[in-house]
Amino acid sequence: MTRTLADAAVEAASCTKCRLAEGRTQVVFGVGNPHAELMFIGEAPGFNEDKQGEPFVGAAGQLLTRMLGEIGLTRADVYIANILKCLRYNALIQLGDGTWDRIGRLVNSKYDGHVMSVDSDGRLIPRRVIGWHRSPLGGRRVYRLTFRTAKNAGPDRVGIHLTGDHPVLTRRGYVPVEELRRDDQVATGQGLSDLAHDVVCGTLLGDGHLNVDSSYLSFSHSARQSAYAAFKAELLVELQPRTLEVSVAAVVGGEKIHPTVQVRTRAHRALRTLRADFYITEKRVPHWMSERLTPRMAAVWFMDDGHMRIMSGRQPLAEIATNGFPSQDLPILLAGLSRLGVEGTTARGRLYFNVAATLALSETIAPFVPPSMRHKLHPTIEARVPYDPGLFRVGTPLVQYDWVEREDITDRPRTDTTFFCIDVEETHNFVTAGGVVHNCRPPGNRDPLSDEIESCTPWLIEQLSLIQPCIVATLGNFATKFVLNTQTGITRLRGQTFPWHGRKVIPTFHPAAILHGGGEGSRQFEQLREDFATIKRELERCREPAPPVLDPTPDATDEEQLELF
């Protein structure tokens, strides 16, 4: 009796040759036309494929189906097969409403709601969960990931356990945990809008204070400046400020005769990061202020601690009190102002500005100064440059970065050997208690191990032998390197045609890589489309009549053709 693909699939279904059998639901053998001219080879089934028993059924599969349609084919015309990352169950994930839940629970329940994510512009936004993965730990290393300002929980900071090959978002892009450097900064998953960030920083340069224990911002102004206090509180709406009117004494123990407006925000994780920048043992000016001081930030700072000296017969001169900072930090402030076109000098704990610099300072900050504080501006500028409330529109919070803290905990005793991951729509990342991490690529956020490849290779050989495709399209880096027995990456090989045992191999990107790399409109997407046009041309050549062979030689057997494996 002639053996068929169906026979091979039945036999493969009971395969237990490697550790992958422990975590799977079923063997995903392959699907499609058993006599296809075109065969796709990917890497491994994911969670959805494992449940449904068919390769490429998720978002990546939908993109593959679309690309086939563009060259006039359907999934029924081709054959799709595979050669063959992830978090601990308890890893906390931030949901779209700001609450937290364990990733294992999300995967087990196939949670399809929203989680917090980071878009290409660094904005923190909710995005829907569209995939769920679990895989055995295997031989991977395990790390504990957190960052400098994460909250304390017992002897350690809040963080997550994840496998070493799992990518996390850093200032230099996505980096596998095991490749992180000590000087890396990771995306914390928390942030403030540009507006709130500027107002908080300007207030901290002025009279504001961040609490050491719970990281809330507090500041106070005299009753005469109650309108200004209300103005700042309104700008900090995302931090849910509370305003309180109290009377305070001029000296400790004295009579409470001075009415004061006090504002205090809610504690916020993003403020913990700023506190680490602004405080060591005392309040300091962050080094980055020389490069990142903005006109809006400077306006709040001047309205808090600035003064315009107006004397009869003399030109107005501006000055800013800086008694709260050590003298060695003042050059940072001067450098930041210089970038804005304002030159100053320091003396006796203050910054002083000459006539030209006073005009430049007022002109720089005037659009950000509301009616209640216009008296602090140079009179000429106050009359000429109006307040622009449009400069204070609340935006989407932007993710903040902090210094990474990583610990290899592979050798610690553990009972959990299954790790979990989710796929997130569009952005392909999600916020955890230890930072922002990328979607996994199953199984287990890793390349197949050598014994797994050895166990599965005979099934792939048999598929090729029974189908006899003219074109083999390899999807992604791993499948391409495996089939062509090369270490050259997919970016350099894609779209080319390679002779291979009487067939042609055309490497292209894995559809999931396109989704992760920007989706439609990205350069990779256009290259994928170009590669499918190449596949179409080569298929047409396969269908052309073969030229006569004048001096034929015996054909190699299927077994000889597949000795590469």
pLDDT at 304: 96
pLDDT at 149: 86
Scored b (16 or more CB within 10 A) or e, 443-464 reads: bbbbbbbeebbebbeebbbbbb
Token digits for 508?
């292209």
Domain edges within the chain? 5-84+448-542, 92-191+398-438, 194-392
Residue 519 has pLDDT above 50, yes or no: yes
Q: If one looks up domain 5-84+448-542 in CATH, what number appears?
A: 3.40.470.10
pLDDT at 543: 86
Q: Residue 39: exposed, middle, or buried by beta-carbon count in 10 A (0-12, 13-18, 19+)?
A: buried
Token digits for 162?
């994840």
- Rounded-to-integer distance, Cα 164 and Cα 410, Å: 9
Residue 99's CB is within 10 A of a number of other CB atoms, namely 9
Residue 548 has pLDDT above 70, yes or no: no
Residue 556 has pLDDT above 50, yes or no: no
Higher pLDDT, 246 or 278: 278
Average pLDDT over residues 141-154: 83
- Rounded-to-integer distance, Cα 365 and Cα 375, Å: 13
pLDDT at 129: 94
Backbone phi and psi for residue 407, each to the nearest 5 degrees, phi listed first: -140, 130
Average pLDDT over residues 378-401: 94
The domain covering 92-191+398-438 belongs, at the CATH homologous superfamily level, to Hedgehog/Intein (Hint) domain (2.170.16.10)
pLDDT at 563: 36
Higher pLDDT, 500 or 194: 194
Cβ-Cβ contacts under 8 Å for 266 (sequence gap 6 or more): 216, 239, 240, 241
Backbone phi and psi for residue 127, each to the nearest 5 degrees, phi listed first: -140, 150
DSSP per-residue codes, 84-103: ---B-TT-EEEBTTS-EEEH
Q: Is the peptide bond before 389 cis (omega within 30 degrees of 0)?
A: no
Cβ-Cβ contacts under 8 Å for 179 (sequence gap 6 or more): none
Average pLDDT over residues 97-113: 92
Place of tokens 């902090």: 402
pLDDT, one tens digit per residue, over 170-211 is 998 888 898 899 999 999 998 999 999 999 999 999 989 998
Place of tokens 């309108």: 227
Token digits for 269?
């994780």
- Rounded-to-integer distance, Cα 478 and Cα 26, Å: 22
**What is the share, in percent, of the chain residues with pLDDT greater than 90?**
54
Q: Are 80 and 30 in contact (CB under 8 A)?
A: yes
pLDDT, one tens digit per residue, over 422-476 is 989 988 899 999 999 988 654 444 455 566 666 677 878 888 888 999 999 999 8
DSSP per-residue codes, 424-449: ETTT-EEEETTEEEEPP-TTTTSPPP
pLDDT, one tens digit per residue, over 286-338 is 999 999 999 999 999 999 999 999 988 899 999 999 988 999 999 999 999 99
Residue 10 has pLDDT above 60, yes or no: yes
- Rounded-to-integer distance, Cα 43 and Cα 478, Å: 6
CATH number for 194-392: choose from 3.40.1590.10, 3.40.50.1100, 3.10.28.10, 1.10.540.10: 3.10.28.10
Q: Are 302 and 361 in contact (CB under 8 A)?
A: yes
**What is the share, in percent, of the chain residues with pLDDT greater than 70?**
85
CA atoms 265, 267, 272, 273: torsion sign: negative
CA atoms 123, 125, 129, 134: torsion sign: positive
Q: Are 257 and 249 in contact (CB under 8 A)?
A: yes
pLDDT, one tens digit per residue, over 79-88 is 998 776 467 7
pLDDT at 151: 75
CA atoms 41, 43, 47, 53: torsion sign: positive
Average pLDDT over residues 139-143: 85
Alpha helices in 322-387 (DSSP H): 330-339, 355-365, 379-384
Residue 14's pLDDT band, with cuts at 50, 70 and 90, is low
Residue 479 has pLDDT above 90, yes or no: no
pLDDT, one tens digit per residue, over 341-360 is 999 999 988 999 999 999 99
Cross-strand pairs, 503: 500
- Rounded-to-integer distance, Cα 557 and Cα 192, Å: 65
- Closest by CA to 532, choosing from 6, 54, 60, 70, is 70
212 to each of 129, 146, 209, 236, 512, how far by Cα in Å? 36, 19, 9, 20, 44
Scored b (16 or more CB within 10 A) or e, 301-326 reads: bbbbbbebeeeeeeebbbbbbbebbe
Angle at 46 between CA 42 and CA 48, to 5 degrees: 125
Token digits for 34?
């058993």
- Rounded-to-integer distance, Cα 496 and Cα 500, Å: 13
pLDDT at 482: 84
**The three-state (H, E, C) secondary structure of 129-174, written as one string:** EEEEEEEECCCCCEEEEEECCCCEECCEECCEEEECCCEEEECCEE
Residue 116 has pLDDT above 90, yes or no: yes
Q: What is the DSSP letter of 546?
A: P
Cross-strand pairs, 143: 162, 408
Highest mean pLDDT among 54-63, 212-221, 381-390, 418-427: 381-390
Cβ-Cβ contacts under 8 Å for 60 (sequence gap 6 or more): 510, 511, 512, 515
Highest mean pLDDT among 89-103, 292-306, 508-522: 292-306
The per-residue pLDDT of the chain, averaged, comes to: 85
- Closest by CA to 409, choosing from 160, 112, 36, is 160
Residue 46's pLDDT band, with cuts at 50, 70 and 90, is low
Higher pLDDT, 28 or 191: 191
Cross-strand pairs, 186: 170, 402
Cβ-Cβ contacts under 8 Å for 7 (sequence gap 6 or more): none
pLDDT at 50: 59
Q: What is the DSSP letter of 209?
A: E
